[in-house]
Structure 1
Amino acid sequence: MRPCCDTYSLLGFAGFSGSGKTTLLRQLVSLLTQRQLRVGIIKHTHHDVEQDQAGKDSFELRHAGASQCLLAGPQRSILTFENPQPQEPSLAESLARLNTDQLDLVLVEGFREAPIQKIEIHRPSHHKPLLCLQDAHILAVATDHPQLVAPVPVLDLNNANAIADTIVQWWQAGTLQQPAHEHHAR
C-alpha cells in the first residue's frame, strides 16, 4: 500500500445519465475493498431520499423535528441529516459528514461540475459529448468503445479489474487529489 498518508484521496465519476456510473462503481467498490483499500462513497441525487419506514421509531423521531438522527445498530449505523430548507448539498458539506479518518479513498458519483479529479464514463452509442474535452479534471475515460479518441487515457469500461488496478496505482503514487482542508464528522 501507500507508505504514508494522513488523509484520504478523492476520485469522482462523471457521465451522463444511463452511462453506467453506478454499475461501474458497484464493481469498483468490491474490487478496491479486496485490494485492502477502505472506500467511502458519496452519491449525489436530485431526488428526495428516504431510507427509513413510516411507523419505525427513527422515522417518527425524525419527523417529529430532529435535525439529525443516528440509527445505531450492531451491523451498521445510519446517520440522517435534515436540511432546514431544501437545497442542493455541496460536495464539501457531504465530505465533511464522512468520518474520513477511517477511509483511504472516497469515490464520488455526481457533482459533475466539482473541480475534482474524475474518471469519465462515456458510451458513444448514447450520442452525448465527451466531458473531458471541457473538463481538465478528468484523468481518464472509461468507455465501451476501444477506438475512442480522447485527450486522456482510455480505459475499457467492461474491464473493472483493469480500472481498479489503475485507481490503485494512482492512489499508491499519490496522483489522486487529497483535500487541502480536513473537516471530519466524528
Structure 2
Amino acid sequence: MNIYGVTGWKNSGKTHLMVRLVEEMTRRGLVVSTIKHAHHASDVDHPGRDSFRHREAGAQEVIVASPGRWALMHELRGAAEPPLAELLARLSPADLVLIEGYKREAHPKIEAHRTETGRPLIAPGNTTIRAVASNCAPGGLTVPVLDLDDTSGIADFILKEVGL
C-alpha cells in the first residue's frame, strides 16, 4: 500500500492541501483514500440520530448504511487509540492513502508551512519529512521546498516518491 503524509502545525494549511491533493490525484484517475488524525475527541455522529442512540446505548460498533455511502463507527470505551498500521489495515485497496497528521509516525511526509502561524519548521528535526510546502522560501533545509499553492507540483513530487 502506498502511503504519504501531510503534516504541520495547526493552521499551516494541512487540510486545504489534503483536499487539493485528493482532487488533483483523483482527477488523474487514481483511487485515493485518506486518514485524518485528530488530537481532540471528535464525533461524526450527532445527538438524536439513531446511530448516536445505538452508540450511547453501549454498542461497540455501529454501521450506518445508505445507497450513497456507509460508515463504521467504533467506540474505544477507554481503550487505547489504535496505531496507524491497524487503521491502514482496515482500508480497502487504493492506489494511494494520504495521511493528515501523525507527525511522529515513520511514513514519508510533506510538511505544510505557513509563515503566519509563527511556528518553526518541523522538518529540521524529523527525517520522515521529505519536502516542505510553504508560502515562503525558508532557507537552510536539506529537503526540497515546494510552493504551498502548487498543487500539481506537490502531487507530482508525492507520486514520484511512491512510484506512481
Instruction: Tell me the number of residue pairs that the alignment of Structure 1 and Structure 2 aligns.
Output: 164
Q: 1:170 aligns with which of 135, 145, 161?
A: 161
Runs of 4+ in 1 over 3 A off after TM superposition: 86-89, 146-149
- In structure 2, relative to structure 1, the CA distance for the partners of 1:151 and 1:80 (3 Å cut) is same
- CA distance in structure 2 between the aligned counterparts of 1:17 and 1:122, rounded to whole angstroms: 10
Return 5+ residue gaps in structure 2 as ranges. none
Which residue of the other structure, out of 127, 132, 140, is the alignment partner of 2:118? Answer: 127
The residue correspondences of 1:4-153 to structure 2 (distance < 5 A) are 8-85=1-78, 87-99=80-92, 101=93, 103-146=94-137, 148-153=139-144
TM-score when scaled to structure 1? 0.81
Gaps of 5+ in 1: 1-7, 174-186
How far apart, in 1, do the equivalents of 2:163 and 2:28 lie?
12
- Partner SS for 1:161: helix
Distance 2:70 2:82 in 1: 21
2:58 corresponds to which letter in structure 1? G
2:137–2:145 Cα contact (<8 Å) kept: yes
Query: CA-to-partner distance for each residue in 1:59-94, whole Å, 9 max, x for gaps?
Result: 211221111111111111011010021544421232
Measure how far apart 1:47 and its partner are: 1.8
The one-letter code matched in structure 2 to 1:33 is T
- 1:5 corresponds in structure 2 to none
TM-score after normalising by structure 2? 0.91
**Retained in 1: the 8 A contact 2:8–2:14?**
yes
